[in-house]
Chain A
């Protein structure tokens, strides 16, 4: 039993066996390649096709049969002559045909899965043909990589799905790097025939209950599984495609809306951390570039899902190229701005100011979330500064977790027995001037109320100032012997000292205090 195909040649419908069709196809491709150089190529080829169709019709009629077989095609080719015969009698210089890059006498090797020699799905066997390596070496490597965290298994599955199976004779030949032309075809066919003959002979010798099995059980199983996946898998695939389509569309809409919202309500000093890195001057083009970089792959994913889900036609090539071009433009724009933003962090600047602290034998250190109105604040909120001076804004407890820690407090021993606080403001910028400008635009609240030292939990940037790694480093120097009651809230700002190190686990909740000693801050308990 053999599979047959219906072909349309020279406007006649011909039944043809599969291998015969392969041979005919190869022959016609060779003929087309041969005549491809001349202008009237189409006419010659269609003349030849018409004649072949006529020969087939005559054969079917005279031999009283239904189907064209391999032998018939071989006969037709003999009558028509192979490309080699044309070359001898050819009108044009035959050297032209040799320079045709499509016509590869050695055969272009292609990667296919070899299911004939498969252990599982023929991935290793196919690769061994492609790489000209021994298949057992590849299999050992494959099995070994499975134990490397299962990466081999994943790679195998991906290759199984992505590499096509070698179905037809010409695909099998391309897989083995044999030239897909008539000579190669003939050789391949004869090889297979002799193999078959050998098999039949040996099969006769050991004809048992198990017919000689050239393929492993696993390969058979994988084949069945593959067939199942193609049937049931198609439905699953469509289902997944629909899900991707819907979620992708929602993500697309969300992206567009959020960008529109961002562009509408943009203000550098009030927005959340990662966004306030971008300078207002180029925020809009940067965000649009990022939007396109994100949206284009999303859009192609959606289009692909639509195609899978509804068996739609493939996307217009022109359209996909345009999409790719737009994406690349947006990507380069984005990279340009990222580099520009990166350059904004090139130089560092820092300035320090000393704040006198009134002398007390003991201090209470605490976090104060309230904020004093400065002159800048009054301008910022457009308040009458003379009226509101000295008033306090009660900040809510919202802590910006995304922002890097930008306030650090260090408690040190004072050398001259005078308490003092040093505030160091630092920032980065494209050059020293901008860095210093950014540093000067930092606003930080520190208040002493008698023996209570109140620290603000975060620094504030003036309006429209971008995040340029602004930091405030506070160094509190107290004389030896000074007692410090440190609020637990302050712990996350303290550097070089942790309140959690104070005491062991049982005494954690007991009241404690810190004392400045010659060796630095030490903690003590009341009891």
Chain B
């Protein structure tokens, strides 16, 4: 249970980072984001993504355009805002630190 909880917490933070990374590569549709995340084995169900995207958008990190679709309703295509890009570079820095911290922790255990 505690292990599960920690995993969830770690996953949650990384999921946000990954979503921003995926979107930073260019305009993208939500279900394509899901495809990417599934390929990365980070996301289990699609329903989880929508609240996250809405929250990021409400925080001003993302914006979207409506694009007509041949199948079904019009789709939301997400892009990063300036703030989003800024946030992503901060996260990049944090990730460097984190991976360093983990690597360092593992190293010192070996010694």
Contacts and interface: CB of A to CB of B under 8 A. Distances in A.
Could you say which interface size class chain B belongs to?
A: 20 to 34
B72 A48 contact: no
Contact of A10 (B12, B50, B52, B72): B72
Contact of A57 (B31, B47, B72): B72
Interface string A84-124: 01101111000000000000000000000000000000000
Interface stretch (A39-47, A422-430, A441-449): A39-47
Interface in B52-88: 52-55, 58, 69, 71-73, 75-76
A85 B72 contact: no
Q: Is the interface of A mostly helix, strand, loop or mixed?
A: helix
B73 A47 contact: no
A53 B47 contact: no
Contacts of A35: 51
B45 interface: yes
A61 B75 CA distance: 18
Nearest to A78: B45
Nearest to A55: B72
* Contact size range, A: 20 to 34
Contact of A44 (B12, B31, B54, B73): B54
Contact of B76 (A47, A58, A78, A90): A47
B50 A44 contact: yes
A11 interface: yes
A54 interface: yes
Contact of A58 (B44, B58, B71): B71
B48 interface: yes
B8 A40 contact: no
B48 A86 contact: yes
A79 B54 contact: no
Contacts of B44: 81, 85
A144 interface: no
A38 B69 CA distance: 29
A50 interface: yes
Contacts of A12: 72-73
Interface string B39-50: 000001111101
A11 B47 CA distance: 19
A51 interface: yes
A80 interface: yes
B18 interface: no
> From DSSP, what is the main secondary structure of chain B's interface residues?
helix
Nearest to A27: B47
A43 B12 contact: no
Contact of A61 (B46, B47, B71): B71
A159 B4 CA distance: 52
B73 A90 contact: no
A194 B76 CA distance: 43
B52 A79 contact: no
A51 B31 contact: yes
Contacts of B73: 10-12, 50, 53-54
B58 A40 contact: yes
Interface in B1-39: 8, 11-12, 15, 30-31
Nearest to B12: A89
Nearest to B4: A88
A88 B46 contact: no
Given A12-B73, A54-B69, A54-B72, A80 B8 contact: no
Interface string A17-48: 00000000000000100010010100110011
Given A80-B45, A85-B45, A51 B30 contact: yes
Contact of A81 (B31, B46, B53): B46
Contact of B47 (A31, A40, A58): A31
Contacts of B48: 81, 85-86, 89
Interface in A315-349: none
Contacts of B8: 88-89
Contacts of B11: 89
A40 B54 contact: yes
Given A54-B31, A85-B45, A48 B55 contact: no
B72 A58 contact: yes
A53 B72 contact: yes
Contacts of B46: 51, 79-81
Contacts of A58: 71-72
B47 A80 contact: yes
A489 to B, nearest CB: 94
Given A12-B72, A54-B69, A54-B73, A47 B55 contact: no
A89 to B, nearest CB: 4
Interface in A485-500: none
Nearest to A57: B72
A79 B37 CA distance: 13
Given A80-B46, A81-B45, A81-B46, A57 B51 contact: no
B51 A86 contact: yes
Contacts of A11: 73
Interface of B: 8, 11-12, 15, 30-31, 44-48, 50-55, 58, 69, 71-73, 75-76
Given A50-B73, A81-B47, A91-B51, 8 more contacts: A44-B50, A48-B47, A53-B72, A54-B73, A78-B45, A79-B46, A86-B48, A90-B51
6 contacts: A35-B51, A44-B51, A54-B31, A79-B45, A81-B46, A85-B47
Interface of A: 10-12, 31, 35, 38, 40, 43-44, 47-48, 50-51, 53-54, 56-58, 61, 78-82, 85-86, 88-91
Which 10 A-B residue pairings sit nearest by Cβ, starting from the closest? A81-B45, A54-B72, A81-B47, A57-B72, A80-B47, A47-B50, A10-B73, A89-B48, A85-B45, A57-B71
